[in-house]
Amino acid sequence: MAVPLKYNFRNLRVRWRLTLATMLGIALVVAVFVMIMALARGLKATYVSTGDPRNLLVLRKGSTAESSSQITRNEVRLIKYLDGIARDTDGEPLASAEILVLINLDRLDRTGTANVLVRGIGPVGLRLRTNIRLVEGRMFRPGLHECVVSRKIANRFANCRVGEQFRSGRTLWRVVGIFEAAKTAYESEIWVDADEARDVFKRNFYGSILIRPVEDTAAVATMIKRMEADKQLSIRVLPETEYYLEQTKTAAPIQWLGGVLAVVMSIGAAFSAMNTMYAAVSARTREIGTLRVLGFRRRHIYVSFLLESVILALLGGAVGCLFSLPLNGMATGTMSWTTFSEVAFEFRITPELLMKGMAFALVMGVLGGLLPARLAARKPVLDALRSA
């Protein structure tokens, strides 16, 4: 017969100080694990949710990002009027030539500076992004050194509120509006007029072209092949969503760091659980002997002590998950290894991630309880009963 579970819970309650210390140690490890994974998941989700599946992005062949791509004005003219590109009610092609430029801004808390992306964009580019919403002020007007910034940029950097000004090089930019972009990568950008950006930042080229093809899958595939085969253009064409999916590699260093940190901390937590269970075995020598006399077999005692370690770890895991929950939705930022600019995103803690945290705690409990449970099960009956 199996040892009753209430025996294990009673022992955890009686030795509550040791139980509490071990639980907190495991809770800390699980909380750190969940938070780092939520950080990487939030960053990935920001990129995955960016882009419209109906749009295509045109880059220079060999470029991995808009910021490193160069498309000449002549190429822009050729591409905009290619067959297969949709047109608006006025007959104008739905193609937006844009440019990305890195600038350096002071943080709002004055703790330093960071690189921020400035996107040069035009009216067509705004129409191709349906998830953008102006929440304060108005849209910029070309030729006046005006800009609109994302809400997250305004909350993280100095002089980025409506009516304020910030300097980049020799130019003073006035913030006239704040926008939200449905938690996409655009929330890490400042937007200005495309031609004004080229003039101010001394660029004689664009970085990319966002186009809306006609809604015909076969025609789109044919158009992409034709554009990429044109030796005059030397371009790469891909769906906008696919481009941002490629940018998720920015989260790889965070996940790697999180994995290493989780392994190191889990070893410490497993040893903590092991020490707790060894202490429990030592303090309960007579109880173990009594259990054997009452007819409980070695395997029953082994399973009982291992189960006690698992219960202890799961309790710690639950506390750790609770510790991490307040971070869900909290805004933060990190550097993109593709554009070398700061990317704003939110911690994203999901039920799946919490389940992984509990599974992580379970593994620590099993590893921490194997040896102490074996020691308890192997204690000779007479020696156990003779112990003081």
Tell me whether residue 241 is in a domain.
Answer: no
CA distance 320 to 345: 23
Calculated CA dihedral for residues 120, 121, 122, 125, nearest 10 degrees: 170
CA atoms within 13 A on the CB side of 248: 18
Tell me whether residue 255 is in a domain.
Answer: yes
Exposure b/e, 194-203, CB count within 10 A at least 16 = b? bbbbbebbee
Quick one: pLDDT band at residue 125, thresholds 50, 70, 90?
very high
Q: How many domains does the chain have?
A: 2
CA distance 374 to 378: 6
**Helices and strands (H, E) in the chain, number of each type:** 13, 14
Tell me whether residue 173 is in a domain.
Answer: yes
pLDDT in tens, 18-29: 788 888 888 888
Distance set, CA 273 to CA 15, 263, 326 (Å):
13, 15, 26
Indicate whether 212 and 292 sit together in one domain: no
Are the C-beta atoms of 94 and 87 separated by less than 8 Å? yes
Tell me whether residue 244 is in a domain.
Answer: no
Indicate whether 217 and 129 sit together in one domain: yes
Q: By percentage, how much of the chain surpasses pLDDT 70?
A: 86
Q: Among 184, 201, 233, which residue terminates a domain?
A: 233
Among 152-156, 205-209, 229-233, 336-340, which stretch is predicted with the lowest mean pLDDT? Answer: 336-340
pLDDT at 300: 77
Tell me whether residue 242 is in a domain.
Answer: no
Q: Among 233, 263, 278, which residue terminates a domain?
A: 233
CA atoms within 13 A on the CB side of 30: 33
pLDDT in tens, 35-62: 888 888 888 888 888 889 999 999 999 8
Q: By C-alpha distance, which of 56, 48, 61, 49 is closest to 86?
A: 56
Indicate whether 229 and 325 sit together in one domain: no
Domain residue limits at 162:
62-233
Indicate whether 129 and 190 sit together in one domain: yes
CA distance 174 to 193: 13
Indicate whether 78 and 225 sit together in one domain: yes
pLDDT in tens, 337-377: 667 777 877 888 999 999 988 998 888 888 877 777 777 66
Indicate whether 84 and 218 sit together in one domain: yes
pLDDT, mean of residues 370-385: 65
Q: What is the mean pLDDT of the chain?
A: 84
Tell me whether residue 245 is in a domain.
Answer: no
pLDDT at 157: 94
Indicate whether 159 and 22 sit together in one domain: no
Indicate whether 269 and 326 sit together in one domain: yes
Quick one: pLDDT band at residue 388, thresholds 50, 70, 90?
very low
pLDDT, mean of residues 301-320: 85
CA distance 262 to 132: 37
Q: Among 207, 233, 259, which residue terminates a domain?
A: 233
pLDDT at 274: 74
pLDDT in tens, 114-123: 999 999 999 9
Indicate whether 20 and 78 sit together in one domain: no
pLDDT at 121: 95
Indicate whether 305 and 176 sit together in one domain: no
DSSP-assigned letters across all residues of 9-52:
HHHHHHTHHHHHHHHHHHHHHHHHHHHHHHHHHHHHHHHHT-S-
Between 166 and 306, whose confidence is greater?
166
Tell me whether residue 309 is in a domain.
Answer: yes
pLDDT in tens, 252-296: 676 676 667 777 777 777 777 777 777 766 666 666 666 666 666
Element holding 154 (H helix, E strand): helix 151-156
Tell me whether residue 225 is in a domain.
Answer: yes
pLDDT, mean of residues 164-191: 92
pLDDT at 248: 76
Indicate whether 85 and 210 sit together in one domain: yes
Indicate whether 76 and 225 sit together in one domain: yes
